[in-house]
Structure 1
Amino acid sequence: MIIARSLDRIPDEVRPSAVTIGKFDGVHAGHRAVLAELLAASEQRSLTPVVVTFDRNPLAVLRPEACPENLVSLGQKLELLEEAGVAATVVLEFTRELAAWTAEEFAERVLATALEARLVLVGADFRFGARGAGTVDTLRELGAVHGFEVQVVGDVLADGGRASSSRIRRLLDEGDVEHAALLLGRAPTVRGEVVRGLQRGRELGYPTANLAAESEGLAPGDGVYAGWLTDSSAPGTPRYPAAISVGSNPTFDDVTRKTVEAYVLDEDLDLYGHHVEVEFTRRLRGMVAYAGVEPLIAQMGQDVAEARQLLGAPAPDGRGSSTGG
């Protein structure tokens, strides 16, 4: 996939184009439906399918106090767009200067000049230009001037409601990773480097791979989950069943931030410094403060047994470990 990070770096082969515009946070089922229509229309008209997106949520600049956490990082978003079949993505740096462009300026600079758009696909509630003054009707009027057609894509319904990034965030916050996966079209995932933790998991008999604080992707609400760990640094990128803890362990008082720790079932692995992906399949329980270490260890044993059953992992010959905290 071609990635252009400014309008003056778009290669000639991208033009003429069919374009869709948006944040595409999560590249969820609704986004994928739009992308499928974009790809079909592009093939039919011999145009290049292009996504125009931003390097950050516009609210991060306009109203930082109201800006939600991203479901995925920019890097994850670009990878997901490429997997969906998009030929080129234009990543605009969202600044106050860009936010001040009128709808007419945006259409002329981005769609008409930079991309030579012939078709633009947007949702019915699409707004653009300074203060969101431009509507779908505005876009159609500008399309008549600049030679592009506007096609409106309806909402995608999934799991009994509209597929949206805000709905997915609510589900993740509630720990409902199963329904979030239905809207995403894949399991919720975070990825990052395995770093050295407090070694408490090792002391308790369940060594965990601890993800760095700078990990990519939005982790679900505090609790214990069944899922999978993929070692992206190892040959063949092996994938292992895991019991995963999210949050600060309330039994102890020395964990000051939300952490993601994965105990890989029945494997003796050295994962320090490795980049891994952690998928969340099902929530097992909430985070509980136990009155001592022994009941905590007993509960961890139950968590591992339940995760094993849910994931279809075979019974162990002996307990393995994943080197970490």
Structure 2
Amino acid sequence: MFRLFRDSLGACLAPQGSVVCIGAFDGVHRGHRALLGRVRERADALDVQAIAVSFEPIPREFFARSTPLPRLDSARGKIEQIRECGIDDLLLMRFNAALAAMPAEEFVEQILINRLEAREVWVGSDFRFGHERRGDIDLLREMGEAHGFRAEVFAEFALAGSRVRSSEIRELLAAGEFAIAARLLGHPFRIGGHVVHGRQLGRKLGYPTANIRLGRRTSPINGIFAVRVHGVAAQALPAVASLGVRPTVDGVEPLLEAHLFNFDGDLYGRRINVEFVAKLRDEEKFSTLEAMVEQIDRDAAEARKVLAASQPDSPPDAGTHPVRIRSSGVLA
């Protein structure tokens, strides 16, 4: 049974011991999955719990507030994917000023020893932790000898000779290289969320959309895209989507809007996942709504062609019976 914990303090989560890995795990890409798989393997060998330690917000988000970090996935998505990797417990620590100021030695004693009873600790080659990032693999090994746990560096996971990194995947997505990014992620890039009410303008223009707010999350992409929408029907549905601030209609808040082709149903409150297949163009401001609709017509036609020529992903992660749609917005 998978368990999620948020607090660093409290009773020991693994009285019989654990094998632990630590990381930001943004996107839970193929390198992350290889590490999580090793932890599961070692935990089975030692007959102890497999535990992942991560942070929300991601430390880079916390320290770079003026330049928000584009996220590959939401906190919810990260939790779901770590659970899928067979991990028993996830300690998703609240990264705040207090945790940032915690000395590395205290982190080891309080988290790895007292909270997790670690037998083995696995980290990436560039892992740093504690106040001013003073903790590293050498400190882990030194303290491990004193407290009875092993510290190991997981061999870098590479494809075609290149290490799989979240930063590289963000760059690929920003460049519209969705197929290559999907190979590194191990799955297509998606943005999920609950469908919310829009301004109803899209319906009036003939393009009703299912809208997802990004909240505090910063997306690595923006523009107009050919997409597939999961969580509506048994199979993913083809669509054209806009992700941005909608300059033509004076939008401010970033919004993901997806117009599902040949579909009429009510999606308000439904959780959906939008899979990005190809970028069609950048977001732009039009002089009139008529000019914008003409461009949306062209975008929709292009999206249909792109999706017809590409192979859909494996079975969608959520499927329910089709229903009526009344969500609306506007592609801009």
Matches of 1:269 and 1:10 in 2, distance apart?
48
Counterpart amino acid of 2:240? A
Structure-2 residue corresponding to 1:32: 33
User: Equivalent of 1:245, from 242, 248, 252?
Assistant: 242
Change over 3 Å in CA distance of 1:266–1:32 after alignment to 2: same
CA deviation map 1:16-54 (0-9, x unaligned):
100011111111122111111111222222221100112
Does the Cα contact within 8 Å between 2:68 and 2:218 map onto a contact in 1? no
Partner of 2:256: 260
Residues 71, 220 of structure 2: 8 Å contact kept: no
Aligned-pair identity in percent equals 37
User: What does residue 279 of structure 1 align with?
Assistant: 275
Secondary structure of the 2:182 match is helix
What is the Cα deviation at residue 306 of structure 1?
2.9
- Could you list the runs of 5+ residues in structure 1 that have no partner in the other structure? 314-319
Opposite residue 246 of structure 1, the aligned amino acid is L
Residues 237 and 193 from structure 1, CA distance in 2 versus in 1: closer, same or farther, beyond 3 angstroms? farther
Judge conservation of contact 1:223–1:285 (CA < 8 Å) in 2.
yes
Counterpart CA distance in 2 for 1:118 and 1:152 is 14
Aligned equivalent of 1:316: none
The aligned counterpart of 2:97 is 96
Q: Which amino acid aligns with 2:237?
A: Y
> Is 2:228 the partner of 1:222?
no
Report the AA paired with residue 230 of structure 2. T
In terms of mean alpha carbon deviation, does 291-300 or 125-134 score higher? 291-300
Q: Tell whether the 8 Å contact from 1:190 to 1:218 is kept in structure 2 after alignment.
A: no
CA distance in 2, matches of 1:291, 1:107: 59
Q: What is the CA distance between 1:97 and its match in structure 2?
A: 2.5
Kindly state the Cα deviation for residue 244 of structure 1 after the two structures are TM-superposed. 0.9
Per-residue deviation, 1:264: 0.5
Q: Is 1:201 aligned with 2:239?
A: no
CA distance in 1, matches of 2:29, 2:274: 18
Counterparts of 2:76 and 2:136, CA distance in 1: 29
Look up the match of 2:50. 49
Deviation string, structure 1 residues 92-140 (Cα, Å, up to 9, x no partner): 2223332233222222221122211111111111112221112211111
Unaligned stretches of 5+ in structure 2? 310-323
2:79 is aligned with what amino acid?
A: L
Asked if the contact 2:240–2:300 (Cα under 8 Å) also holds between the matched residues in 1, the reply is: yes
Q: Does the 8 A contact of 2:12 with 2:115 survive in 1?
A: no
The 8 Å contact of residues 271 and 324 in structure 1, kept in 2 or not, is answered as no
Instruction: Write the distance in 2 (CA, Å) between the matches of 1:44 and 1:295.
Output: 64
1:317 maps to which residue? none
Cα distance change on mapping 1:195 and 1:146 into 2, 3 Å: same
Tell me the matched-pair count.
Answer: 314
C-alpha spacing 1:190/1:159, structure 2 compared with 1 (3 Å): farther
Say whether the 8 Å CA contact 1:59–1:66 is kept in structure 2. no
Moved more, 237-246 or 180-189: 237-246
Contact 2:19 2:118 in 1 (8 A): yes
Question: Matched residues in 2 for 1:114 and 1:140: separation?
Answer: 18
d(CA) in 1 for partners of 2:63, 2:206 = 48
TM-score normalised by the chain length of structure 2? 0.84
- The answer on whether the counterparts of 1:14 and 1:88 sit within 8 Å (CA) in structure 2 is no
- Mapping 1:1-325, distance limit 5 Å: 1-9=2-10, 13=14, 15-65=16-66, 67-158=68-159, 161-214=162-215, 218-231=218-231, 239-250=236-247, 252-290=248-286, 292-312=288-308, 323-325=327-329
Q: Which moved more, 1:80-89 or 1:206-215?
A: 206-215
Deviation at 1:237, TM superposition (A): 6.5
Q: TM-score, normalised by structure 1?
A: 0.85
Q: Which amino acid aligns with 1:312?
A: A
Residue 305 of structure 1 and its aligned partner are, at CA, apart by 2.8
SS in 2 for 1:269: coil
Q: Is the 8 A contact 1:16 1:48 kept in 2?
A: yes
Alpha-carbon separation, structure 2, partners of 1:223 and 1:14: 50
- AA at the equivalent of 1:74: A
